[in-house]
Amino acid sequence: MRQVSYQAPFGFRITPWVKRLLIANGVVFLLTLALGQSLVFRWFAFSPSDILTQPWGVVTYMFLHGDFWHLFVNMLVLFFFGPPLESRWGSREFIKFYFICGFGGVALSFLFASYSIVGASAAVYGLMLAFAMNWPDAPIYIWGIFPVKAKWLVAFLFVVSVLSAFGGAGGGIAHFAHLGGLAAGFLYLKSDWWRGKPRKAKSGVKGPGSGKKKSRGTRIRRLAIVPQDDGEQEPDSGAVDSPGWSSQDEALLDEVDRILDKISARGMSSLTEKERKILDEVSRKSRSN
């Protein structure tokens, strides 16, 4: 899990909630150093035995870290895996998923562990799972050298978490929290329980809000509002093709669909100069309508 990097499926940019989480975790770590780890952990870590007297621990534990390397590894994973998911889902759905995975770590720790837990690991394990479910064949470079497909890396981490959790491995690592984050993320994505409305699971999971296939008009409208500053703008899932497009534009729209699929699979950096010009042209025309 250390020193992991990858070619982002979308053109790299740090997204709003990823930035806020990075800052929040960094600030809390500095405050922990200033106030004393034992005091902060006593009041804000999650402890199964203190669930009734300190219920806030189910949230605050996600922002506490045992040492610099614990913080660094978790924030590194968030930094790399978070932006593609927030860009695809939108900020609101991204942060909801992040906390759901964190709560999954709490649930499994409450059932099977008696010790206190700290760290964002449950949440970031959920993010890695979601990334692998959206881009299973994306290469993850271990130590910047060895490429491993996202699906195999997450499968390996899952097996390690299961064996470590139920095999009695310790080492100061909350294996049940890791496993809980993975389990909560998987169940949430597979249930397609978006926006508080449970619906039948779809094949080819992409994430929150992706239950219905969008029309070409919707995809053109999404192009017209890129980049999204807060990632929360959502086109109407029932939108029809934008007005102002004649039958002669059909080939151009098909080309735009192909380019958008290419961006989803390989990122903005994979586009040629000609493809970028086509997107700019279509985006301008869409806005003018």
pLDDT (tens digit per residue) in 131-157: 999 988 888 887 767 788 888 888 888
List, for residues 53-65, the tens digit of each pLDDT value: 999 999 999 999 9
pLDDT at 203: 40
List, for residues 198-239, the tens digit of each pLDDT value: 434 344 455 555 544 444 454 444 454 344 444 444 444 343
* pLDDT band at residue 2 using 50, 70 and 90 as cut-offs: very low
pLDDT at 247: 53
Q: Cα 125 to the chain's mean position, in Å?
A: 9
pLDDT at 206: 58
The domain spans of the chain are 4-194, 216-288
Segment (H or E) for 193: strand 193-194
* Mean pLDDT of the chain, nearest integer: 76
pLDDT at 265: 61
Question: 4-194, what's its fold?
Answer: Rhomboid-like fold (1.20.1540)
Q: What percent of the chain is modeled with pLDDT above 90?
A: 38
Residue 106 has pLDDT above 60, yes or no: yes
Identify which of 88, 156, 67, 77 has the alpha carbon closest to the alpha carbon of residue 124.
77
pTM above 0.75, yes or no: no
Q: What is the CA radius of gyration of the chain?
A: 21
Tell me how far CA of residue 22 lies from CA of 39, 60, 77, 173, in angstroms: 23, 14, 11, 21
| Residues 6 or more apart whose Cβ sits within 8 Å of residue 143 | 2, 3
* pLDDT band at residue 193 using 50, 70 and 90 as cut-offs: low
Identify which of 14, 76, 79, 82 has the alpha carbon closest to the alpha carbon of residue 227.
14
pLDDT at 124: 94
List, for residues 70-87, the tens digit of each pLDDT value: 999 999 999 989 999 999
pLDDT at 224: 45
Residue 240 has pLDDT above 60, yes or no: no
More confident residue, 41 or 226: 41
pLDDT at 266: 62
92 burial type by CB count under 10 A (0-12 exposed, 13-18 middle, 19+ buried): middle
Taking each helix axis as running N to C, give the angle between helix 250-266 and helix 273-288, from 0 to 180 degrees, rounded to the nearest 10: 120
Residue 89 has pLDDT above 70, yes or no: yes
Report the alpha-carbon distance of residue 160 to residue 125 in Å, rounded. 12
Gap between the terminal Cα atoms of the chain: 47
pLDDT at 16: 94
Tokens matching residue 266 = 């390989």
